[in-house]
Structure 1
């Protein structure tokens, strides 16, 4: 019973260690967050690196909407999208066992321990890249075209 409680507590702590994706600018090239640069006055390349592809997609879309609104446009069209997943080679479940003995003076000690590591999706990250073209006026009736205001209202950051 004691070991079941210990295992449950370790699993709960491992779950707490999973980072919650946050919308933010990336401080360095490989850091989590967004990076963008203009290609033309109404065309941008945007990338978002996050611990999950779903979050990277959402936040890249949000960044495209922000840039569109900030530049005085009403809508944007995704003309190119790619995703790249980077995983940590040490991810995955693993078990480690350790033990030791020692003596000091007339006392003797014996110790042991068991460790359990659980790899998660946060063991790596996903980089989503978008190339967007922005426009003003009524949104064209084409797939991959979005109203900037609607995206900003629906995807929180």
Structure 2
């Protein structure tokens, strides 16, 4: 009884982990999923968000933009301007054994000696395997931004209001 309960709980945890969306969180390592921020100058920052294999390029860009808005608010800014950005993709290829068949077929063997030849049939197992190759891309988006205070200038397509941007993008990750 105890064993089946533990087994059921493990299955539930695995199913939940596979079905949930990726966490919006700080990256734990340099190449791990999540965001990181780096100070370049007093009001200039570099923000990077690295996704996982389930996230699209657009989702990763939104996560980086959300982090830029948060950094702006954390440092007392009202709006930020993107002065540089780059998206890159890291291709991961994985191979696995997809299908394996074992069939038995007869093999005839002829043995000859002094008194003549004998032919016998022996069963032989034949294995056939298919290998599936899966290629996934892990996207990373880096923004270089400058934090500003006061009202956001009109007509600058690279300027974002921090509060509005964060509010709008948070709805896409919940």
Q: When the two structures are superposed, what TM-score results if normalisation uses the length of structure 1?
A: 0.71
**Equivalent in the alignment of 1:77:** 81
Tell me the SS of whatever aligns to 2:40. Answer: strand
Match of residue 143 from structure 1: 157
The reply on whether 1:132 has 2:145 as its aligned counterpart is yes
RMSD: 3.1
Equivalent residue number for residue 44 of structure 2: 43
Larger Rg: 2
CA contact (8 A) 1:21 1:55 kept: no
Q: Tell me, what secondary structure is at the counterpart of 2:93?
A: coil
Cα separation, 2, equivalents of 1:97 and 1:115: 6
Structure 1 residues 92-131: aligned runs within 5 Å: 95-99=98-102, 119=134, 123-131=136-144
Deviation of 1:22 (Å):
2.1
Q: Which runs of 5+ in 2 are unaligned?
A: 1-16, 105-124
Once the two structures are TM-superposed, the CA of residue 55 in structure 1 deviates from its matched residue by 1.8
Number of residues of Structure 1 aligned to a counterpart in Structure 2? 132
Higher strand share: 2
Specify which of 64, 69, 77 is matched with residue 65 of structure 1. Answer: 69
Q: In the aligned structure 2, how far is the partner of 1:78 from the partner of 1:94?
A: 45
Shift of residue 119, structure 1, vs aligned partner: 3.5
Alignment correspondent of 2:22: 21
- What is the SS of the residue equivalent to 2:150? coil
| Alignment partners' CA distance in 1, 2:19 and 2:97 | 17
Cα 1:80–1:53 shift into 2, 3 Å: same
Q: TM-score, normalised to structure 2's length?
A: 0.64
**How far apart in 2 are the matches of 1:54 and 1:94?**
32
CA distance in 1, matches of 2:131, 2:19: 16
